[in-house]
């Protein structure tokens, strides 16, 4: 193995699923496993087969259908656990059994009431039994960070002699500090005579917020595999975050001189998938994948980033699968940020007009935390033109159902006359938009549609925002109603009316 290559062992489906409320169904596990394969992780810990039939079946299904990474099943150093893992992994291209036993004094006394020699014998027996099923066996001395070093060195050596190909050092309760954990890894290399015959892995928990720092410290001292989860999910405070470890190694390759085979362009997609299926939202300020990770609101920052993104971004949003960074317009933004956003929306304003819009923008920004595109377009329109209601909704009728082709009939008023059209679509909203397109007959393209609940309850108000593009210019419309179809129509018509008003205004200029 390349000494500079760090293997990425993902345990989202095992340790990550142990987060309270994060239970996954078999199909959800399979979906995530396929995405982890696209992410190109080296190993996927698919579950703990002996713990339940669902866990067993999930590991078995992933073993059968996911190709590329090693598929790993967890097992205590107990015969029934190891046998279950061996059976579940039978169809895997690259099966690995990960067996473990607790080695810290407090665990041996309180959990097992056993002596060191008894625990060592359990470890050796467990590794040997796992070797009967697979060639690749990983052994973990649980709670390594609180285990006496002499015993830790002894049990690692015995496990390797028994056939372990990977030795994992877990900071099970997140107790270690980076200097301490890095020193432990160095001591293992210096004091376990056969350590060169196995890969040294680390698995750090985040109870003190040090999981990523401890993992990177271990890598610096020679660890060859990192055990991580997507978004840092996991029991208690979670685990070391895959995206943070991978991007730290990539961004600071000058320091670590280590690489992974991760396809970083799949990071954001994987993060969002795990967040959605586990029902665990990502905090906005989360490193790498948080909503604010590549967002800039400060005027000074925006000006610099527009000129050269590397002034305030040490990695690019494209590296993790985003299209661009995000210039957030708010009370701290400057003219350069507003000018850049206006240009993206299709507006090139002379300096005097930009100053007028900027003054209005500041008034809005003082009242709102974030100023959205629709607010900015409204400011430009208010400053220069009045967006007339050229087309008004008169009525609409929808025919839809799970066994019916969605059909819409829409009547719009223009100059006091009602114009009616009908259309079919992929859904009721698509059908009404196609009917409206027949009436207005404009070469536009819908690039964004979003729906959110403004209020709660069964009679919740829904707000729809749409973005249309014509001749590379963007037009935003917003509509609200307790009927989401009506809200969708109103938003679409607002964008169309704004487009027509702006074009009429531009065409009337000498």
Give 389-436 pLDDT, tens digit per residue.
899 999 999 999 888 999 999 999 999 999 999 999 999 999 999 999
Q: Give percent of the chain above pLDDT 90.
A: 58
> Domain 7-278 is in which class?
alpha beta
Asked whether the predicted pLDDT for residue 123 surpasses 70, the reply is yes
How far, in Å, CA of 475 to CA of 378, rounded?
Answer: 10
DSSP state of 132: T
From residue 416, give the alpha-carbon distance in Å to each of 131, 439, 505.
83, 15, 22
Confidence label for 296 from pLDDT (cuts 50, 70 and 90): very low
Give the tens place of pLDDT for each residue, 9-44: 999 999 988 776 667 889 899 999 999 999 999 999
The pLDDT of residue 385: 46
How far, in Å, CA of 18 to CA of 15, rounded?
Answer: 5
Any idea where the domains of the chain sit in the sequence? 7-278, 295-384, 392-508
Report the largest interatomic distance among the alpha carbons of the chain, rounded to a whole angstrom. Answer: 94
Please give the structure tokens belonging to residue 119.
């625990």
Alpha helices by DSSP H, listed for 6-88, are 26-39, 53-65, 79-88
Please give the structure tokens belonging to residue 232.
């840092």
> Domain 392-508 is in which class?
alpha beta
Predicted model pTM? 0.67
Residue identified by tokens 């329109």 is 381
The pLDDT of residue 298: 47
Asked whether the predicted pLDDT for residue 58 surpasses 90, the reply is yes
Asked whether the predicted pLDDT for residue 309 surpasses 70, the reply is no
């Amino acid at each position: 193995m390349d000494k500079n290559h760090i293997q990425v062992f993902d345990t989202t489906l095992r340790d990550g699923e142990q987060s309270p409320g994060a239970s996954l169904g078999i199909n959800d596990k399979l979906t995530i496993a396929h995405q982890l394969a696209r992410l190109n992780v080296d190993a996927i810990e698919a579950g703990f087969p002996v713990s339940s039939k669902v866990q067993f079946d999930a590991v078995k299904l992933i073993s059968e259908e996911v190709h590329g990474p090693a598929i790993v099943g967890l097992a205590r150093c107990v015969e029934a656990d190891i046998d279950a893992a061996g059976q579940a992994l039978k169809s895997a291209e690259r099966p690995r059994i990960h067996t473990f036993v607790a080695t810290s004094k407090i665990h041996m006394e309180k959990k097992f009431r056993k002596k060191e020699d008894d625990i060592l014998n359990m470890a050796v027996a467990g590794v040997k039994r796992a070797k009967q099923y697979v060639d690749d066996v990983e052994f973990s001395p649980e709670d390594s960070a609180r285990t006496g070093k002499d015993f830790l060195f002894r049990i690692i050596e015995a496990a390797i002699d028994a056939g372990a190909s990977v030795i994992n050092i877990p900071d099970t309760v997140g107790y270690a500090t980076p200097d301490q954990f890095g020193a432990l890894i160095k001591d293992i290399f210096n004091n376990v005579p056969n350590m060169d015959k196995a890969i040294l892995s680390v698995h750090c928990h985040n109870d003190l917020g040090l999981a990523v720092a401890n993992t990177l410290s271990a890598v610096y001292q020679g660890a060859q595999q990192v055990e991580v989860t997507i978004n840092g999910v996991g029991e208690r405070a979670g685990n070391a975050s895959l995206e943070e470890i991978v991007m730290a190694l990539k961004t600071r390759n000058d320091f670590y001189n280590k690489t992974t085979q991760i396809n970083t362009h799949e990071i954001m997609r994987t993060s969002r998938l795990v967040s959605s299926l586990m029902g665990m939202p990502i905090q906005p300020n989360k490193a790498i994948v948080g909503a604010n990770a590549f967002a800039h609101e400060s005027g000074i920052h925006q000006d610099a980033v527009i000129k050269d993104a590397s002034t305030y971004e040490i990695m690019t949003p494209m590296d993790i699968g985003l299209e661009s960074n995000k210039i957030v317009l708010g009370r701290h933004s400057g003219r350069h940020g507003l000018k850049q956003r206006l240009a993206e929306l299709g507006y090139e304003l002379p300096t005097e007009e930009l100053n007028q819009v900027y003054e209005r923008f500041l008034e809005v920004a003082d009242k709102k935390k974030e100023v959205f595109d629709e607010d900015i377009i409204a400011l430009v329109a208010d400053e220069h033109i009045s967006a007339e209601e050229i087309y008004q909704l008169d009525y609409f009728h929808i025919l839809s159902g799970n066994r019916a082709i969605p059909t819409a009939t829409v009547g719009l008023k223009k100059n006091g006359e009602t114009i009616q059209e009908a259309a079919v679509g992929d859904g009721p909203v698509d059908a009404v938009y196609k009917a409206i397109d027949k009436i207005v007959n404009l070469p536009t393209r819908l690039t964004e549609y979003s729906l959110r609940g403004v209020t709660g309850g069964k009679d919740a108000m829904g707000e729809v925002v749409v973005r249309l593009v014509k001749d590379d210019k963007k037009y935003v419309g917003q509509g609200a109603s307790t009927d989401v179809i009506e809200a969708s129509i109103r938003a679409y018509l607002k964008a169309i009316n704004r487009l027509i008003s702006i074009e009429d205004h531009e065409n009337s200029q000498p």
